[in-house]
Structure 1
Amino acid sequence: MLDSIPGRVFVVGVSLLIATIAYSSQAFIFLPAMGWWSIKAAKSLIPFNLLVLMIYYNYYLACTTDPGPVPQGWEPPYSTLQPQEGLSATDTGITGPRYCKSCKVYKPPRTHHCRYCRRCVLKMDHHCPWIANCVGHDNYPHFIRFILFVDIACSYALGLLVWRVRSIMNDIRHFRPTTTEIVFLVLNFILAFVVLFCVGILSIYHMYCMSRNQSSVESWERSKVNTLIKRGKILPIKYPFDVGFYRNICSVLGNNPLTWLWPKKPTSDGLVFP
């Protein structure tokens, strides 16, 4: 069903949803309550607008950054093309290089073919209709920062909305809010809570995956492998890309924790992994 909807429809819808929560709340609730262009309004709303700016910028990067093309002419190391002397593929557990019949190219480690984009993507995580793009090695950091800033900004907005409701309740005898303010209070509460709930669950899942240095595809594959191990179908196998909690996060967000939330390109090439 989602396949039939153009990607730009999702992008426009997400952009309008962000704008509705960010700007209707300020125009009809926060600014009138704080005296419009006052110091109080500046202290409360400048940080909020900076968060919204980071949402838009990281969303733009997630949508427009190529998730990771397989370099033209890439081939696996020569050693993986040759069988080990005296051992079969069954003995070593090596089945040879991975090859995509659709793209007619060798697939580097952790690369998968996206049936929506009709191409192979380096360290593919999933195809996301909300950004009209695949999430892969090159734009996964932007995607992570986008959803994290959505969580932070929605939490901030909900905090301001709670403050406004409490101030109304404390002064209800002397001040009656307008119908417009009440409508936008309810609307923004619902929208901010629903977005925070949905994106929050998505964020927790991806933080879990990132901490284990696995993509969504690899998470599904690991679950399948664990099931086969429990049934005795295959021998236990260790996941090779987990290099420790801290290094796993650094491999996605960068080596400096102080700049984890600052937009930047990944440091690795998406072809070789520790």
Structure 2
Amino acid sequence: MIRIHVILWLCSFFVWHLLFVSSFCALVFPYGPLSLFIHWILWKLIWSLTICSLFSASLTTPAEIPRNFVPPHDFVEKNSRRLLDAVAAWARNQNLPVRFRRMATESGMTKAPNFCYICRLIKPDRAHHCRKCERCVLRMDHHCPVLGECIHMHNHKFFMLFLLWASMLCLFAVLTVSPTVIFRMLALYRHSNLARMIPTILVTSGTVNALVCGIALLCFLRELTIALLRNETTLEGIALHNYGERDAFDDGIAHFDLGSKFANFISIFGPDPYFWLLPLPSTYGSGCEFQYYIKYSTVADEEQKACTQQQNNGEGEE
């Protein structure tokens, strides 16, 4: 289902395209027909890739969380007093590929996987509940207000391509138009002409708009690219910034870095370079299970310190 956000953005793209391109090509372009045709083809190509990436990012909905992550309907009611312990037992019985988190309960500390009390399911690693979409999303990066949709495992590539091609579209317009705009503005300064002033103002405003949007999109794309090369989502980056290296998982602090920037990149863009710049599906993986390595284990360190202290106390008493 296409959300109203996408329709509005698509309309804005068409309006900007109509005003900017028609004014520039028909009234301002200073070169010959062949050069105009080449510029028009390049513009249409980049514009088409931008629109296709936008549609792909919007129409690729999050994959359903497998049924074996969903306990029976009356599971919560039956185990309301010791729910986390029951969740842990269920996850072990189902052999779910999830990490166990150290959690505080009324009866003390326990170890259990993340459980969504709203969707009533065990959340796979890197999954989060989106309050806007009212569902749990596999490998959720963030909720995009532009698309009105979550950026997740299987549309992350399309969203980054949308940022890339949209920024390239803006910069292509700026680089192509700026020399002509500057020349015409100087000419208007010397000799005012209403017939030239209106298209020049339209193209100038479009150029400024393209410059601002292009810079903003490139900055956002840069942040997402840096995170992708670490195999880190936006939400994971925020959690790391807020909580530092503290980690509540039983096995210590985990990073999903696959060992190289290239391996992290192809985990989303796929191994085939022919598809990297095209809005075609190439992401592999179900989004339910991820490789990770333990940087260091704070839990193991604490337990080792406790054992050492007990041994020292025992030797002192002797």
Q: TM-score, normalised by structure 2?
A: 0.71
The answer to whether 1:202 aligns with 2:217 is: no
What one-letter code is carried by the residue in structure 2 that aligns with 1:267? Y
The answer to whether 1:256 aligns with 2:251 is: no
User: Which whole-Å CA distance do the structure 1 matches of 2:92 and 2:32 have between them?
Assistant: 63
Contact 1:141 1:252 in 2 (8 A): yes
The answer to whether 1:103 aligns with 2:98 is: no
After superposition, the C-alpha distances for 1:110-139 in whole angstroms (9 at most, x for unaligned) are 000001111000001111121011111111
Contact 1:145 1:261 in 2 (8 A): yes
Residue 255 of structure 2 is aligned with which of 240, 243, 258?
240
1:166 positional shift: 4.5
User: Which whole-Å CA distance do the structure 2 matches of 1:94 and 1:188 have between them?
Assistant: 59
Alpha-carbon spacing, 1:89–1:100, altered in 2? closer, same or farther (3 Å): closer
The answer to whether 1:32 aligns with 2:50 is: no
Correspondence list, 1:139-218, <5 A: 139-168=155-184, 178-218=196-236
Contact 2:6 2:146 in 1 (8 A): yes
User: Which whole-Å CA distance do the structure 1 matches of 2:274 and 2:179 have between them?
Assistant: 30
Root-mean-square deviation (CA, aligned residues, Å) is 3.2
Correspondence list, 1:16-55, <5 A: 16-34=11-29, 38-55=33-50
Q: TM-score, normalised by structure 1?
A: 0.81
Contact 1:28 1:180 in 2 (8 A): no
User: Which whole-Å CA distance do the structure 2 matches of 1:107 and 1:209 have between them?
Assistant: 22
1:36 positional shift: 9.8
1:257 positional shift: 2.9
Contact 1:58 1:145 in 2 (8 A): yes
Q: Count residues in correspondence.
A: 256
1:256 positional shift: 2.4
User: Which whole-Å CA distance do the structure 1 matches of 2:219 and 2:62 have between them?
Assistant: 23
* Structure 1 stretches lacking a partner, 5+ long: 1-6, 82-87
What one-letter code is carried by the residue in structure 1 that aligns with 2:47? V
The answer to whether 1:118 aligns with 2:134 is: yes
Aligned to 1:134, the other structure's residue is in SS state strand
Alpha-carbon spacing, 1:139–1:29, altered in 2? closer, same or farther (3 Å): same
1:224 positional shift: 2.5
User: Which whole-Å CA distance do the structure 2 matches of 1:17 and 1:198 have between them?
Assistant: 17
Contact 1:30 1:164 in 2 (8 A): no
What one-letter code is carried by the residue in structure 2 that aligns with 1:24? L
User: Which whole-Å CA distance do the structure 1 matches of 2:274 and 2:166 have between them?
Assistant: 19
Instruction: Judge which range, 184-193 or 113-122, deviates more.
Output: 184-193
User: Which whole-Å CA distance do the structure 2 matches of 1:77 and 1:116 have between them?
Assistant: 31
The answer to whether 1:57 aligns with 2:30 is: no
Aligned to 1:14, the other structure's residue is in SS state helix
User: Which whole-Å CA distance do the structure 2 matches of 1:37 and 1:19 have between them?
Assistant: 25
The answer to whether 1:15 aligns with 2:10 is: yes
What one-letter code is carried by the residue in structure 2 that aligns with 1:64? L
Contact 2:27 2:199 in 1 (8 A): no
User: Which whole-Å CA distance do the structure 2 matches of 1:211 and 1:72 have between them?
Assistant: 31
* Structure 2 stretches lacking a partner, 5+ long: 71-90, 104-108, 292-318
